């Protein structure tokens, strides 16, 4: 497993009965997590700021137990990110991705040329910030205008707004197909595809049906000596071995790593699996 263990502004304090209690720079949020199938007691001893409650009809809502800021900033090493309580339990950041930020920063800094990165399903731009901080140029693609504006805030928060970055609100598959026709190439691609989603014009995305086709398309816009190709997924319908098989078939004779992204649980020897990542590189 790959463990993001170098956080100072984020900790998982406790996990029990389908819920995780997180400390986001002294803001305590209690959120549901379906992989937490164990019982370690209740959370009554903690002064929780907000609890996310799922609805039986889909979605859910935050219950404010204590005053919580509308937004606040967390730090990871020299990176800064804006946090907010969002619908469907999100906060705008996936802390388990920190090990991938470390990986891409190291790879980019050690490269012997300027690296051109494509970030697909780029969300609020944590990976964009990481790549820019290492000196890469980034094309940031997401179908949501709101998430793209948030990404711009994160880039500005890190004083990287004058870096080589362009933001595109677009359907990922359509964008990649256009890049193929244009003959554009990238040194690295990062993607965080959802299990299911709709593009800006109502395009339907299904991970199980569409992932391999997107990988094949992305291969056409990768330079032959590409630096890395990273896929992150949070779908329980795509186990590690399936993602590994897809990558081995499409990237023969390359270095491939597929593993769980995990976070430590405070004051225990336990870890919470938060998704899987697949990395492809030449070394």
At the top level of CATH, the class of 2-89 is mainly beta
Which string of DSSP letters, residue by residue, matches 99-149?
A: HHHHHHHHHHHH-SS--EEEEES-TT-HHHHHHHHTT-EEEEEES-HHHHH
Using an 8 Å Cβ cutoff, are 151 and 80 in contact?
Answer: no
Q: In the prediction, which pLDDT does 150 show?
A: 98
pLDDT at residue number 88: 84
pLDDT for res 203:
66
Chain region(s) in the chain for CATH 3.40.50.150: 96-281
pLDDT of residue 235: 76
> What one-character DSSP code corresponds to residue 196?
E
**pTM given for the model:** 0.94
Question: Are the beta carbons of 141 and 182 closer than 8 angstroms?
Answer: no
Separation of alpha carbons 142 and 66, rounded Å: 33
Q: Nearest 10 degrees: CA dihedral of 122, 251, 176, 97?
A: 0
Name the pairing type of β-strands 255-264 and 2-3: parallel
Which CATH number fits the domain 96-281, given the four candidates 3.40.50.150, 3.10.20.30, 3.30.365.10, 3.30.1300.10? 3.40.50.150
> What are the start and end residues of each CATH 2.60.40.1180 domain in the chain?
2-89
Q: What is the DSSP string of 6-66?
A: --SSEEEEEEETTEEEEEETTEEEEEE-TT--------TTS--SEEEEE-TTS-EEEEESS
How many residues are listed for the chain in this entry? 283
Torsion over CA: 137, 139, 145, 146 (sign): negative
* Cβ neighbours of residue 129 closer than 8 Å, sequence gap 6 or more: 79, 81, 154, 155, 158, 160
Task: Print pLDDT tens along the chain (283 aa).
Answer: 999 999 999 999 999 999 999 999 999 999 999 999 999 999 999 999 999 998 877 789 999 999 999 999 999 999 999 999 998 889 999 999 999 999 999 999 999 899 999 999 999 999 999 999 999 999 999 999 999 999 999 999 999 999 999 999 999 999 999 999 999 999 999 999 988 776 656 667 678 788 999 999 999 999 999 999 999 998 777 889 999 999 999 999 999 999 999 999 999 999 999 999 999 998 7
pLDDT at 200: 57
């Amino acid at each position: 497993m790959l463990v993001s263990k170098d956080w100072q502004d984020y900790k998982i304090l406790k996990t029990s009965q389908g819920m995780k209690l997180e400390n986001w720079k002294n803001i305590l949020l209690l959120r549901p997590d379906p992989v937490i199938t164990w019982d370690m007691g209740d959370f009554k001893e903690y002064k929780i700021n907000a609890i996310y409650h799922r609805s039986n009809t889909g979605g859910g809502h935050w219950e404010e137990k204590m005053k919580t800021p509308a937004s606040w900033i967390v730090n990871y090493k020299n990176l800064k990110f804006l946090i907010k309580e969002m619908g469907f339990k999100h906060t705008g950041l996936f802390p388990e991705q920190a090990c991938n930020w470390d990986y891409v920063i190291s790879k980019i800094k050690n490269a012997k040329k300027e690296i051109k990165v494509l970030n697909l399903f780029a969300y609020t731009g944590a990976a964009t910030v990481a790549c820019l901080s290492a000196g890469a140029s980034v094309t940031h693609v997401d179908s949501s205008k709101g998430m793209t504006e948030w990404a711009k805030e994160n880039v500005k928060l890190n004083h990287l707004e004058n870096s080589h970055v362009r933001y595109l609100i677009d359907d990922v598959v359509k964008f990649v197909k256009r890049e193929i026709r244009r003959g554009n190439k990238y040194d690295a691609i990062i993607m965080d595809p959802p299990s299911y989603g709709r593009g800006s014009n109502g395009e339907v995305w299904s991970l199980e049906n569409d992932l391999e086709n997107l990988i094949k398309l992305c291969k056409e816009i990768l330079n032959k000596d590409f630096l890395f190709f990273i896929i992150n997924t949070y779908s329980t319908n795509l186990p590690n071995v399936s993602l590994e098989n897809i990558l081995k078939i499409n990237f023969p004779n390359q270095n491939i790593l597929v593993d769980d992204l995990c976070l430590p649980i405070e004051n225990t020897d336990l870890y919470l699996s938060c998704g899987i990542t697949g990395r492809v590189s030449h070394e």
